[in-house]
Amino acid sequence: MEGLKRYWPLLLLAALLLGGIGWWVNRQAEKAQVEEELAQAQGIVRVLSATFANKAALKVGEVNGTLDVTSVDPGAIPALRSAQKATIPYSVGYTLDLSALGADDYRWDPASRTLVIRVPLVTAEPPNIDEAKRSVHGTSGIFVTRGASTNLARRASQLATAEAGRIAAEPKNLAKAQANAETVVADLAKAPLDAAGLGPVTVRVVTPASGVRDGERWDVSRSIEQVLAERRQAR
C-alpha cells in the first residue's frame, strides 16, 4: 500500500494528461465539424447567388379575366353627353425579384439538411388591357362625335386598368401568387444544389414576415457566416 501511494502523483498526472488529450481531441473534432458546416453553408450561398443573380423579374403568377365597364363623355354641353358599355379582357402578372438576395437571406441547418430561403414579397406588374379584344355592347347619346368616341374608349381603358389593379391587389390573389413564388423558388434552388453534389436537401421558402417556422431557430438578423463563426468561437 505504501508503494502504491508513492505512485499516486504519477497516476494522477497520467490521468490528467489522458483527460487533457481526450478534451483536445474532442475540441478539434468539434472545430472541424463547425468548419465543415461553414464551408458547406458558404458553398450553398455561392451556388444559389449565381443561380438567382439574373432573376430580377421572375414571373410567378398571373390574374386575368374580363371587365364590364361603362364610360361617359360629358360633351361640351349636356345635350352631347354620351355613354358606352364595353367588355375588355385584362391580365396582371406577378413578379419576384431574386437578384438582391444575399448571404443573410439563407439559413442552413446541417443537422436536418434543411435550407431556408428568405425572399421578398411578390409585386404586381402594371395591368395589361387588351384593347384589340374590346367588345362594345352599346353606345348612347343624341350625337356621338369622333372626339367623344375617342374619349369613351380612353375612359373605358382607364376604368379597366384601375379595376384590374384593384383585383390584383386583393389579399387572396397576392397570397396565391406568393405561395406560387415559394414553389417556383424551391424548384429553382433544387437543381443547382443537386448538381453541386450536396445530396438530399430540403428547401423551404419564406418571406421576411413569416420567418422560420420550425427546426433550428436561426437569428434572422445574422448571416450564415456570422452564425457559424460564433459557433466556432464558442467551441
Task: Using the predicted structure, report yes or no on whether residue 101 has a pLDDT greater than 90.
Answer: no
State mean pLDDT over 88-105.
89
CA–CA gap between residue 118 and residue 100 (Å, rounded): 11
Q: Which of the two residues, 83 and 9, has the higher pLDDT score?
A: 83
Q: How confident is the model at residue 181 (pLDDT cuts 50, 70, 90)?
A: very high
Residue 64's Cβ-count burial label (10 Å; 0-12, 13-18, 19+) is middle
pLDDT at 129: 95
The number of folded domains in the chain is 1
CA–CA gap between residue 209 and residue 120 (Å, rounded): 9
Question: In this prediction, what percent of the chain has a pLDDT beyond 70?
Answer: 65
CA–CA gap between residue 124 and residue 173 (Å, rounded): 10
pLDDT at 178: 93
In a domain, 151, yes or no: no
Task: Using the predicted structure, report yes or no on whether residue 176 has a pLDDT greater than 60.
Answer: yes
Q: Using one digit for the tens of pLDDT, what is the confidence trace for 119-135? A: 999 999 999 999 999 99
In a domain, 148, yes or no: no
pLDDT at 3: 56
In a domain, 213, yes or no: yes
In a domain, 197, yes or no: yes
Which structural domain range is residue 92 located in?
Answer: 2-69+85-136+161-234
Average of per-residue pLDDT values in the chain? 76
- Is the distance from CB of 134 to CB of 156 less than 8 angstroms? yes
Q: How confident is the model at residue 138 (pLDDT cuts 50, 70, 90)?
A: confident
pLDDT at 80: 74
Residue 183's Cβ-count burial label (10 Å; 0-12, 13-18, 19+) is exposed
Return the CA Rg of the chain: 32
Q: Across the beta sheet with 202-206, what order do the strands follow?
A: 106-109, 114-118, 202-206
Q: Using one digit for the tens of pLDDT, what is the confidence trace for 21-72? A: 555 445 554 555 555 555 556 667 776 777 777 777 889 999 999 999 988 8
Q: How confident is the model at residue 85 (pLDDT cuts 50, 70, 90)?
A: very high
Provide the b/e sequence for 124-146 (b: ≥16 CB within 10 Å). Answer: beebebeeeebeeeebebeebee
- Is the distance from CB of 136 to CB of 85 less than 8 angstroms? yes
In a domain, 10, yes or no: yes
3-class secondary-structure state, position 34: helix
Closest by CA to 151, choosing from 83, 57, 230, 227, is 83
Task: Using the predicted structure, report yes or no on whether residue 232 has a pLDDT greater than 80.
Answer: no
pLDDT at 5: 60
Q: Chain-centre distance of CA 71, in angstroms?
A: 39
pLDDT at 218: 44
In a domain, 146, yes or no: no
In a domain, 119, yes or no: yes
pLDDT at 215: 43
In a domain, 142, yes or no: no
Q: Using one digit for the tens of pLDDT, what is the confidence trace for 210-229? A: 654 444 444 444 455 555 55
pLDDT at 117: 87
